[in-house]
Amino acid sequence: MTRKVLVTGADGFIGSHLTEELVRQGYQVRPFVYYNSFNSWGWLDSSSKEIKNELDVFAGDIRDPHGVKEAMKGCDTVLHLASLIAIPYSYHSPDTYVDTNIKGTLNILQAVRELGVSKLVHTSTSEVYGTAQYVPIDENHPLQGQSPYSASKIGADQMALSFYRSFNLPVAIIRPFNTYGPRQSARAVIPTIITQLAAGKEKIKLGAVSPTRDFNYVKDTVSGFISIMEHDRSIGEVINIGSNYEISIGETAKVIAQTMGKLIEIETDEIRIRPEKSEVERLWADNRKARELLGWEPKYGGLEGFKLGVKETAEWFSNSMNLSQYKADVYNI
């Protein structure tokens, strides 16, 4: 019997790629998109006609428990991606992060429990680890909220695990490291660099360039979601999805410039620098658990894989129709 999958946050960057791949693999998909009066489905509006014809779209808000339960009816699997994710905006409006990320997740958990859904994959983030205390970072690494965003995600993760332990809820937690690729918001560093270069700028405005990240191409993140969804061994587990490759922001900018055939000069923009104790200085994923438990491996791992992912990403952003949807000269929090 074909699974019917509810994908929350399906209108976003990762959610839209995941929704499309699920349809391609033959799943019945109900994308949960954020209600708006424009009837926009976010990035799903740019999906092919063949994909859109297969979608059973539900517009709502995960902060509303009644709408969440209604959206989930008839689905046997839930992939929960909907959340607020911008770190600078969490300094600006932390209350919304509690409502969306923690209470929204609670609404999902309650509905899964009441409706008897067979599997829930809850989305975490590598930001919950804070600055690495050891590398590579495995799933036993201590958690440290260094921003209101990461604190809200720690709360959401713990709420999900509490429902597994308290009610035997079939929950698995995916913890992706820094995902990048086509459609990503310009609040993230790779699109920030690419959009500025594609717009013809040679002086690129960035925040701190010394922190390191483990960048994970969106296709690898999507395959991680599907692997965790399909494997029963993932229930009750937290699983890192990362490339196991560490690179600094400064080196990332150089790789992007080289890939795009551009000269680059980096200017420090003070507004883009996080408060000192809030900056996560180092992230590097240990992905052994995903390999051993699921057989998952990144196809875009290592420097060469990163260069390939950057190339595909830069080609998408450099398309004038795609670039026109971004404001390269404005800092997006």
330 located within any domain = no
Residues 73 and 13 placed together within one structural domain of the fold: yes
328 located within any domain = no
Give residue 10's pLDDT: 98
Q: Based on the structure, what is the number of domains in the chain?
A: 2
For the segment 81-137, what is each residue's pLDDT rounded down to a tens digit?
999 999 999 999 999 999 999 999 999 999 999 999 999 999 999 999 999 999 999
CATH number, position 14: 3.40.50.720
Is residue 255's pLDDT more than 90?
yes
Residues 230 and 241 placed together within one structural domain of the fold: yes
Residues 111 and 256 placed together within one structural domain of the fold: no
CATH number, position 202: 3.90.25.10
Confidence of residue 1 (pLDDT cuts 50, 70, 90): low
Please list, in sequence order, all residues whose beta carbon lies within 8 angstroms of the beta carbon of residue 95, skipping any fewer than 6 positions away: none
332 located within any domain = no
173 C-beta neighbours (distance < 10 Å), count: 24
Is residue 301's pLDDT more than 60?
yes
Residues 205 and 104 placed together within one structural domain of the fold: no
CB-CB contact of 235 with 28 (8 Å): no
Residues 81 and 176 placed together within one structural domain of the fold: yes
For the segment 194-237, what is each residue's pLDDT rounded down to a tens digit?
999 999 998 999 999 999 999 999 999 999 999 999 999 999 99
66 located within any domain = yes
Residues 25 and 68 placed together within one structural domain of the fold: yes
Range of the domain at 195: 189-211+246-279+305-323
Q: In angstroms, rounded to a whole number, what is the distance separating the alpha carbons of residues 245 and 226?
A: 22
For the segment 15-66, what is each residue's pLDDT rounded down to a tens digit?
999 999 999 999 999 999 999 999 999 999 999 999 999 999 999 999 999 9
Residues 319 and 297 placed together within one structural domain of the fold: no
